[in-house]
Amino acid sequence: MRLTAFNGSPRGATGNTARMLEQFLAGFNSVPGNSAEARFLCRTREMDEHLKAYAQSERVLLAFPLYVDSMPAAVKAFIEELEPFCGREGNPPLLFLVHSGFPEASHSRPVERYLAKLAKRLGCVNKGTIIKPGSEGLRHLPEDMNRKLFGRLRELGCVFGSEDRLEARIVKQLAKPERFNPVQMAVFAAMRLLGITNRYWDAMLRKNNAYEKRFDRPYAEDADKRPGP
């Protein structure tokens, strides 16, 4: 089987998406005869090569992070470029990997439904979607803390590479928690009151010189200035 994995992360080879794909593809390539190619959609000047790889692949894996319930711009641009392939005979089956910093898998379910509709409109077989919540900072963790996750991803890739399917048991494990239970909600609320949950995000805002603007509402301000009906 020949698989093309499209990495839709703006961070390219240095992001969490790349680390997760690396493990899945290691499992996939462990099956004799399989081969995989990883392409980076952030390399927007290579769009023609991306489309050529899509057209020639036997299977396509589209992987990307979810930011505030929205896919990266490079992913959306790639999807729009696939319009000429709608209904084309011989389109490759698709599978997807969506991960996010959101701690609950429920945040990714709307985009999962969108991706199912995308596969249908292209006329592709939908092999399913892998959802992994709570992935932000994955690339900063030591190997020991990622061992279980990476092991599951390698196993998932191996099963797909040998049986052409996603193992439902592993997909379910990766998606936990779907939603916080009452105890987890209480703990999270306490952490929020203590300011623990915001430390990482505040550091990112400061790094990008945006901390002082974190409560800005530019669109609301523009709306206030518009003339009434």
In this structure, are 168 and 197 located in the same domain? Answer: no
Q: What is the mean pLDDT of residues 43-72?
A: 94
The pLDDT score that the predictor gives to residue 221 is 59
Q: pLDDT category, 35, cuts 50, 70, 90?
A: very high
In this structure, are 210 and 140 located in the same domain? Answer: no
In this structure, are 117 and 191 located in the same domain? Answer: no
d(Cα 21, Cα 56) in Å, to the nearest integer?
Answer: 20
3-state secondary structure of 127: strand
- The larger pLDDT score, comparing residue 59 to residue 200, is at 59
Last residue of a domain, one of 132, 148, 174: 174
Q: What is the mean pLDDT of residues 121-132?
A: 97
Report the number of distinct structural domains present in the chain. 2
Q: pLDDT category, 148, cuts 50, 70, 90?
A: very high
In this structure, are 166 and 138 located in the same domain? Answer: yes
Q: What is the mean pLDDT of residues 175-196?
A: 85
- Give the domain range for residue 61: 2-174
In this structure, are 132 and 101 located in the same domain? Answer: yes
- Check pLDDT > 60 for residue 21: yes
- Range with top average pLDDT, 26-30, 88-92, 186-190: 26-30
- Check pLDDT > 50 for residue 131: yes
**CATH number for 40:** 3.40.50.360
The residues near 4 (Cβ < 8 Å, ≥ 6 apart) are 36, 37, 39, 53, 54, 57, 59, 60, 61, 92
In this structure, are 133 and 188 located in the same domain? Answer: no
Of how many residues is the chain composed? 229
Taking the chain, what is the end-to-end CA distance rounded to the nearest angstrom? 59
d(Cα 94, Cα 61) in Å, to the nearest integer?
Answer: 6
Range of lowest pLDDT (27-31, 63-67, 191-195)? 191-195
The pLDDT score that the predictor gives to residue 19 is 96
The pLDDT score that the predictor gives to residue 146 is 92
Q: pLDDT category, 226, cuts 50, 70, 90?
A: low
The pLDDT score that the predictor gives to residue 116 is 97
In this structure, are 57 and 146 located in the same domain? Answer: yes
In this structure, are 17 and 124 located in the same domain? Answer: yes
The DSSP symbol for 92 reads P
In this structure, are 160 and 197 located in the same domain? Answer: no
For residue 108, give the amino acid letter: S
For residue 99, give the amino acid letter: H
- Check pLDDT > 80 for residue 163: yes
In this structure, are 140 and 49 located in the same domain? Answer: yes
The pLDDT score that the predictor gives to residue 229 is 47
pLDDT tens for 204-220 read 899 999 999 988 887 77
pLDDT tens for 172-181 read 999 999 998 8
The pLDDT score that the predictor gives to residue 187 is 83
